[in-house]
Amino acid sequence: MKIEGSSAVVVGGASGLGAATVRRLHAGGASVVIADIGEERGQALAGELGERVRFVRADVTDPDSVQAAVDAAGELRITVCCAGIGWAERVVGKRGSHALDPFERVIRVNLIGTFNVLRLAGAAMASNEPLEAGERGVCVNTASVAAFDGQIGQIAYSASKGGIVGMTLPAARDLSVVGIRVCTIAPGIFETPLLGELSDENREVLGKAIPFPARLGRPDEYAALAAHIIENQMLNGEVIRLDGALRMPPK
């Protein structure tokens, strides 16, 4: 799939990994819809990049708003889904058992939200005219190394990201009949808003835990991999760890 001339939706595109992906796709010549609940940041990014970028307020748990973002792209060829939230709580802690509501909320946003984007984007792509070799679209989703190396207190987050990993191959098989590829990126520890409240000292400690390079990942490195997946037709049904060989300890 050529990025240049294609229409894309980046969900969670107002900040972090998503914003870097918006910049990368735009620089490659794509028309990009930023779909996010962060209206101020999304509008600011769209205004900065200007031509071929627009913002649509979208909540991944709301089918109508996701559909609006998909429709805004026109002939949609590319989706990258980066939207997600976190939660830290043990299954049983000092104050009793894990609260059910936040567990359900994390699953709702991270896992069901990703599926919501995938199903609606896939339906739109299926109606496209096929390109070379019958390709109609590419969907890139975002998991986490927590899907494999979940730490203490990450039960909700790990479950949600593990679900995204588990969806990848069957989604790719389901959509193969209409020429749509599906891959997932599982990032390690990256410089994102989720780490925004950490001190420089704590960031340095986290970075040193990564074998090589011994630093936090940069959002543009995620965006570079997303772009490669889009352009490499043989990448399909795969989950790719992007983590500098990090394997997370229990805590």
CA dist 14 and 20 (Å) reads: 9
Length of the chain: 251
CA dist 187 and 17 (Å) reads: 10
Catalytic residue chosen out of the listed positions 157, 185, 229, 235:
157
Q: Where are any strands of DSSP class E within the chain? A: 7-11, 31-36, 53-57, 76-81, 92-93, 96-97, 137-142, 180-187, 239-242
Q: Which helix (H) or strand (E) holds 64?
A: helix 63-72
CA dist 105 and 83 (Å) reads: 13
CA dist 35 and 18 (Å) reads: 9
DSSP-assigned letter for residue 52: T
Phi, psi of 72 (to 5 degrees): -65, -20
130 preceded by a cis bond (ω within 30 of 0): no
Q: Is 108 exposed, middle or buried (0-12, 13-18, 19+ CB in 10 A)?
A: middle
To the query of whether residue 222 is one of the catalytic residues in this protein, the response is: no
Q: What are the residue numbers of the active site? A: 157
